[in-house]
C-alpha cells in the first residue's frame, strides 16, 4: 500500500479515537481533574520554586553543605518567613480585605456620585455617546471587567480550594527537583542518538538558562514594581494601599493584561477618595511601569527575553482561551522552550539546505 494512504488511514483512525473519546468524556474528566490536581499543578509550582531556590541550594552546596541538608535548611527558612508573614503582614492585610468587603456598597455609591460630578465636564461628556450617560457607560465597562476578572478568580480559587492536597504533594516534588533536577536534562539527552547528544545537551542548557532567567527575573521585577507602587500609594494616601499593591504584584505575573486589570481597582478606589487621588494613582502606576520596563527589566533580563510585545499579547490571549489562568501564566515559558527547540532543529537539519536552495 502507498505510504501516503497508510498515513491518511492512521490520521483517520486517530481522529475516530478522539471522537469516540469525546462521546464518553464523563469518564475521562474526573481522571484528568485528579491528574491535574495531584500532578500538573504541584509540578508547575515545584518548577517555579525550583528555579527560585536552586541558586541558593547550589551556593550552600559550594560551601561544603550536603545538598539534602541544604534543601531542608531552606525549607526551615521558608517556614520561618511564612510564620513572620502570617504574624506580621497578614493581620494588616486581612483587616484591609475585611474593610474593603464591608465598605463595598459605600464605595459603589461614592463612585456613582463621583462619576455624576464628572459628567459636568464638557470634555469627558463629549467622549461618550449622547444617548448614554458617562455613568451608564462606565458602569457597563466595569460590569464586563468584573465578570472577566471574576471568571479568572473563580478558576484560581478552584485550584486554591484543593490547597491541602497541593500542599502535601508540592514539597515532595520540589525536594526531588532540587536534589536531582540537574540530572533531568541528562536523562532526556541519553535517549537521543549519540551523534545528537552534544547538541541535545546544549539545547537543554539553553532551555534551563532561559527558564531560570525568566522566572527569577520576573519575581525580582514584580517585587521592585510592588515596592515602587506601595511607596507611591502611601505618599498620596491611597486607601487599602497594601492590599492593592499585593493584587498588582500578583496580577503582574500575567504579561500586559495583568497590569491593566490590576490598575482598574486602584483607579476606582482612588476615584472614590477624590479625582485627584485617582489621577495621582494612575501617574504612580505609569511611572512605576516605565521604571520597571525601561530600567529594571532590561538590567535583570538583558536580551534573554527576546519576545515581541505583539507576540506576547497573542500568546496570553490564546493561553487564556485554551487553558484559563494556568494557560496565561505558563504560556510564555512554554513558548520560550518551543522557540529554542525549533531554532536548534532548524539550524541542524534545514538551514544549510534551504539557504543553498
**pLDDT of 293 higher than 80:** no
**pLDDT of 257 higher than 80:** no
Residues 293 and 55: their CA atoms lie apart, in Å, by 25
**pLDDT of 238 higher than 90:** no
DSSP 24: T
Q: What is the mean predicted confidence (pLDDT) over 132-148?
A: 57
pLDDT band for 235, please (50, 70, 90 cuts): very high
Residue 73: per-residue pLDDT: 92
Residue 284: per-residue pLDDT: 92
Nearest Cα neighbor of 115 from 128, 99, 101 is: 128
**pLDDT of 82 higher than 80:** yes
Residue 243: per-residue pLDDT: 84
Q: What is the mean predicted confidence (pLDDT) over 140-148?
A: 58
Query: Higher-confidence residue: 337 or 157?
Result: 337
Residues 249 and 129: their CA atoms lie apart, in Å, by 35
Residues 44, 177 contacting (CB under 8 angstroms): no
Cα-based angle 68, 71, 77 (whole degrees, multiple of 5): 145
Q: Which three cell numbers stand for residue 316?
A: 496570553
**pLDDT of 39 higher than 80:** no
Residues 262 and 152: their CA atoms lie apart, in Å, by 13
Residues 15 and 78: their CA atoms lie apart, in Å, by 48
**Mean pLDDT, all residues of the chain:** 77
**pLDDT of 126 higher than 80:** no
Residue 147: per-residue pLDDT: 56
Phi/psi of residue 262, each to 5°?
-75, -25
Q: DSSP labels for 123-173? A: HHHHHS-TTS-HHHHHHHHHHHHHHHHHHHHHHHHHHHTTHHHHHHHHHHH
Phi/psi of residue 130, each to 5°?
-70, -30
Residue 80: per-residue pLDDT: 93
Residue 7 falls in which region: left (phi positive, over 0), alpha (psi -120 to 50) or beta: alpha
The runs of H, that is alpha helices, within 237-308 are: 241-251, 257-273, 275-291, 297-301
> Which of the listed ranges 2-16, 206-220, 222-236, 252-266 does the model predict with the highest average pLDDT?
222-236
**pLDDT of 121 higher than 70:** no
Q: What is the mean predicted confidence (pLDDT) over 178-182?
A: 79
pLDDT band for 234, please (50, 70, 90 cuts): very high
Residue 142: per-residue pLDDT: 59
Amino acid at each position: 500500500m502507498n505510504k501516503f494512504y497508510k498515513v491518511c488511514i492512521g490520521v483517520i483512525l486517530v481522529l475516530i479515537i478522539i471522537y469516540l473519546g469525546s462521546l464518553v468524556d464523563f469518564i475521562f474528566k474526573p481522571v484528568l481533574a485528579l491528574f491535574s490536581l495531584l500532578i500538573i499543578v504541584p509540578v508547575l509550582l515545584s518548577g517555579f520554586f525550583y528555579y527560585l531556590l536552586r541558586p541558593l541550594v547550589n551556593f550552600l552546596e559550594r560551601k561544603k553543605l550536603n545538598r539534602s541538608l541544604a534543601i531542608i535548611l531552606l525549607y526551615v527558612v521558608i517556614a520561618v518567613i511564612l510564620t513572620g508573614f502570617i504574624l506580621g503582614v497578614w493581620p494588616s492585610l486581612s483587616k484591609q480585605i475585611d474593610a474593603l468587603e464591608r465598605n463595598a456598597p459605600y464605595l459603589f455609591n461614592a463612585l456613582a456620585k463621583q462619576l455624576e460630578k464628572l459628567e459636568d465636564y464638557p470634555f469627558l461628556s463629549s467622549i461618550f455617546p449622547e444617548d448614554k450617560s458617562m455613568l451608564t457607560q462606565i458602569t457597563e465597562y466595569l460590569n464586563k471587567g468584573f465578570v472577566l476578572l471574576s471568571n479568572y478568580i473563580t478558576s484560581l480559587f478552584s485550584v486554591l480550594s484543593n490547597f491541602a492536597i497541593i500542599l502535601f504533594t508540592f514539597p515532595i516534588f520540589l525536594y526531588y527537583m532540587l536534589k536531582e533536577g540537574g540530572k533531568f536534562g541528562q536523562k532526556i539527552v541519553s535517549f537521543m542518538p549519540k551523534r545528537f547528544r552534544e547538541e541535545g545537551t546544549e539545547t537543554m542548557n539553553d532551555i534551563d538558562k532561559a527558564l531560570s532567567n525568566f522566572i527569577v527575573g520576573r519575581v525580582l521585577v514584580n517585587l521592585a514594581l510592588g515596592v515602587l507602587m506601595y511607596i507611591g500609594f502611601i505618599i498620596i494616601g491611597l486607601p487599602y494601599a497594601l492590599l492593592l499593591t499585593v493584587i498588582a504584584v500578583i496580577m503582574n505575573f500575567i504579561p500586559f493584561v495583568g497590569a491593566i486589570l490590576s490598575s482598574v481597582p486602584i483607579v476606582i478606589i482612588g476615584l472614590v477618595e477624590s479625582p485627584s487621588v485617582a489621577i495621582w494613582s494612575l501617574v504612580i502606576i505609569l511611572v512605576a511601569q516605565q521604571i520597571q520596563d525601561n530600567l529594571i527589566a532590561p538590567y535583570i533580563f538583558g536580551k534573554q527575553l527576546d519576545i515581541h510585545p505583539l507576540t506576547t499579547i497573542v500568546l496570553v490571549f490564546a493561553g487564556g482561551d485554551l487553558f484559563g489562568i494556568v494557560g496565561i501564566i505558563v504560556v510564555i515559558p512554554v513558548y520560550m522552550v518551543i522557540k529554542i527547540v525549533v531554532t536548534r532543529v532548524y539550524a541542524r537539519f534545514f538551514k544549510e539546505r534551504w539557504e543553498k536552495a
